[in-house]
Structure 1
Amino acid sequence: MHPIVIIGSGMAGYAAAREFRKLNAEQELIMICGDDAANYAKPTLSNAYTGKKAPEQIALGDAAKMAAQLNMQIINHTWVKSVDAAAHQLHLENTEGSAAVRAYSKLILAVGANPIRLAIAGDGSDDIHVVNSLNDYKAFRSQIDQSTDKRVVILGAGLIGCEFANDLQNTGHSVTVIDLAPQPLGRLLPAHVADAFKENLEETGIHFVLGTTVEKISKASHGHYLVTLANGQSLKADTVLSAIGLQPNIDLAKAAGIHTSRGILTNAGLETNLPDIYAMGDCAEVNGTLLPYVMPIMQQARALAKTLNGEQTAVHYPAMPVAVKTPAAPLTVLPAPVDVDVTWETEETEDGMLAKATDSAGTLRGFVLLGAAAGKQRLALTKQVPDLIPASI
């Protein structure tokens, strides 16, 4: 029997391997990835500075350690150039240009998502950092650690942008966050909660410039940059970080004839339209839903492990709140489904607010908890919210 092959060494790929090994210690397992296959939790990157973690302290294990721990062959610094679904074969190429063909019995696409990059003019635009991997973070940290004035401009006031802003401001940096939206966390929060969240972050010294975008980034003297905005304003920066979002990596799947939309399309069993090929993690659009968070990945890994071991299992999504790592404004969000009309009701707490989203039947479909006091209600509220995707295939 040919091996089960996982493409990707991120949190999804390692979670799939770990959960499968709990059920099956013997089946041959191979992981293929383009990077060094270091195992780390990507969410830790956005608060590593406050946690006094140097980049080299973040990885939990290198490829050799993980291969031994999971009884798995890891082929790193190697790219899957194409998938021959009919022949159940992968065409590979490594960093030295050597090509190879690998057969698989089952294939798991855990290829993640790529940072969205804006088209920005200016001779400094190539120096914009993105942080979507540990290697990205090492480059980013190297630059900010060398900067003298510690001025950081962040493009994007979403979850990652706000987390990095809080982490950097908390460690002596001067942070400005720019977003075209009129509020931070525009896709997650109702406007009145977003305003309170923004005020809490502003009290730490974080500066928001909203309702505009960056037009040009020019190199200035002594390694500094001049950031020119569409509203005519200009800012000086030592480092520019782009955190405007991610796009699922669908190119390999699309070229293989796998159905894609925003992500790689799967049913509740994480099956694509092609036999023996599955997708999970940030690249997977499960029953029309993209959930680029940690808890959905763990649910997917547990279900897929059972399926790969012969027990056909659908992924089960209970209500899964997201804890935003902004200590200056403690925030927990359970987004309401986008296809459900909801009404927001808000009540003040001693240090923030609680906002509930209910549907026309009065069922709780989502909530936002701002402040440490409100956060204490997380478990009780989560139990009231119905599952997102029913456990069926």
Structure 2
Amino acid sequence: MPQPIVIAGSGLAGYTLAREFRKLDRDTPLLILSRDAAGFYSKPMLSNALSGNRTAESLVMKSAEKMATELNATIRARVDIAMIDPQRRVIELVDGEQIAFRDLVLALGADPIHLPIEGDGAADILSVNDLDDFARFASHLHDAKRIVVLGGGLIGCEFANDLLARGIEPVVIDIAAWPLGRLLPEAAATWFRQQLEAAGVSFRMGVSVTSVARNGGNYHVSLSDGSVLDTDLVLSAVGLRPRIALASAAGLAVNRGIRVDRRLASSQPNIHAIGDCAEVEGLVLPFVMPIMQQARALAATLAGTPTRLNYPAMPVVVKTPACPTVVCPPAPDAQGSWQILGGQDAAAGLEVQFLAPDEKLLGFALLGAATARKQALAAHAPATLA
């Protein structure tokens, strides 16, 4: 039997790649290794599951067994890779088992960033990065009335909005001056904040958490400005760090993520990376649309047609029903400025565009009812990676 293509990871990236590959090749052996139960679910749904009354169990759309049948693949759940031997094209599991591969795809994802916080309650801070994390988080919500959310970025704001569905008061804390600081300019972020505050979210911007202390069954959260918040729970959503340790130990080139070229190939032959762990020409994009583009390109390459990855304009949808938001950020080195179009009427929403000196559209942000213009503007925005 020929050696299999091994996909390390059963998240959205790993399973999407497997599906795309099977559209092109039904016969090559496919082995998927998963650190968890390997059921298929959409990780982006974790941050808005509460408003839909979803449980961890109900978020699983297909079991590992169904996925194995659908993909004509072998799926092994609850296994961990100890090392990769690129020269021998072998991976070794923690129990010592060795598996040879034709090609290895690292779809390892990313780990939550943990802030250095003092106090005897710091170890109780929760984060939600997978289905098991969500189950643990949800189990603590039954009597919660207030939750401190660390991080005012996309995930932090999504969770804060979602907690409102449970009648829980979220307090978002971030060192940045405004929420969604990496996506929105100040004027749009201020409008966004106002809509979420009207819905019941509280924000404490420009401060950080210094310590979390237990107070019976609750917590005292001390901030850098000297103030103290009482809370039932602390949820950390300050960002993710790509899982690169396994690749680095195997001698693969790494930076913020596992460095790959436009064909998703690493610095070692027959080893590839996609998803949250991959860095393509300096870009680490932990969003759904880049994963879809990567999976299609790599599937074609693995099926025998070397295919170069391209990123079209890829608007990011922020799942905050209190203020629906779509952002297509300009390139980091883009020259231009943000401009507000029209008024800031709550019923009409808010549209801001990032325009070059020659008025060419380089990025945009749409809030509220203005999100209806997503497709129209995306058609004129430049490709993220042409």
- The question of a shared fold, defined as TM-score above 0.5 by the shorter chain, is answered with yes
Distance 1:371 1:342 in 2: 24
Equivalent AA in structure 2 for residue 377 of structure 1: R
Confirm or deny that 1:291 pairs with 2:265: no
Alignment of 1:1-393 (within 5 A): 1-93=2-94, 98-145=95-142, 147=143, 149-221=144-216, 223-347=217-341, 348=343, 350=345, 351=347, 352-372=349-369, 374-390=370-386
Distance 2:373 2:77 in 1: 44
Note the alpha carbon deviations across 1:43-89, whole angstroms, 9 max, x for none. 11111111111221001122112111111111221111111001000
* 1:240 counterpart SS class: strand
* 2:196 counterpart SS class: helix
Shift of 1:349: 5.5
Note the alpha carbon deviations across 1:92-137, whole angstroms, 9 max, x for none. 12xxxx3200000111010011100011111111110000001000
Shift of 1:178: 0.4
* 2:172 counterpart SS class: strand
Shift of 1:170: 3.0
Distance 2:336 2:283 in 1: 18
Distance 2:91 2:155 in 1: 34
Shift of 1:362: 2.9
Report the number of matched residues. 382
Distance 1:58 1:3 in 2: 30
Distance 1:354 1:273 in 2: 42
Note the alpha carbon deviations across 1:208-246, whole angstroms, 9 max, x for none. 01111111111112x111111111111111111000000
Shift of 1:345: 1.2
Distance 2:184 2:363 in 1: 10
In structure 2, runs of 5+ residues without a counterpart are none
Distance 2:242 2:333 in 1: 21
Distance 1:200 1:301 in 2: 36
Distance 1:170 1:368 in 2: 26
* 1:185 counterpart SS class: coil
Shift of 1:171: 2.5
Distance 2:213 2:35 in 1: 32
Note the alpha carbon deviations across 1:283-327, whole angstroms, 9 max, x for none. 111111111100110111011110000000011211111111101
Distance 1:387 1:341 in 2: 15
Q: CA RMSD in A?
A: 1.0
Equivalent AA in structure 1 for residue 67 of structure 2: M
* 2:136 counterpart SS class: helix
* 1:50 counterpart SS class: helix
Shift of 1:166: 0.5
Distance 1:9 1:116 in 2: 21
Distance 1:72 1:114 in 2: 27
Equivalent AA in structure 1 for residue 351 of structure 2: L
TM (norm. structure 1) is 0.95
* 2:51 counterpart SS class: coil
Identity percentage of aligned residues = 46
Distance 1:42 1:150 in 2: 25
Distance 1:360 1:92 in 2: 55
* 1:203 counterpart SS class: helix
Distance 2:31 2:50 in 1: 34
Distance 1:123 1:344 in 2: 44
* 1:389 counterpart SS class: coil
* 2:87 counterpart SS class: coil
Equivalent AA in structure 2 for residue 62 of structure 1: S
* 1:16 counterpart SS class: helix
Equivalent AA in structure 1 for residue 360 of structure 2: T
* 2:293 counterpart SS class: helix
